[in-house]
Amino acid sequence: MQHLRGIRADFDATTITLYQAYAPAVAEPAVAAQRFVPPFSFGRTTWIKPSFAWLMHRSNWARKPGQERVLAVRITRAGWEEALRRAVLTTADPGELARAEVHVQWDPERSLRGAALNHYSIQVGVGRTLIRTFAEEWITGRASRWTWRPGWPRPTGRRRPTGPRRCSR
């Protein structure tokens, strides 16, 4: 039986992979450095998503302006768990939400064709007071650039999806 809400992720005993979409100007230096460097903004909330399918839907399959590069970012499980300990649901009291270092929301999971499914995946917003810790301590230094390749299934594509595939760097 599938749970209504869940953390669907690629993880092991010490790390978890999260996905983020950025403009090439932000993503390419991050991949080269294996960490976030300017022009990445350390002054605003960054949303991390363990669901690859949801992130691909959100970025319009890496076609949305400013989200053309999808990064697979590996962080420590300890960092992930710390973020969740500090998290407040986005539906919380507005005052509590304003003071929170981390925001959590649950959005419908997506199929490879982009259709909303009847269960939810977590999205975690790491706030500006914690962003340096995320970028400098939690990231393990193993980041990969993922992109959408021609011929891969898209939500409006004609080909039948065979599952997510990893691009070469």
Handedness of CA 115, 120, 121, 127 (dihedral sign): positive
Mean pLDDT of 2-27: 90
Percent of the chain residues topping a pLDDT of 70: 82
Strand partners, 106: 122
Cis peptide bond upstream of 108, omega within 30: no
Tens digits of residue pLDDT in 54-107: 998 999 988 999 999 999 999 999 999 999 999 999 988 999 989 999 999 999
> Which single residue is written with the structure tokens 């993503």?
27
**SS3 call for 65:** coil
pTM of this structure: 0.81
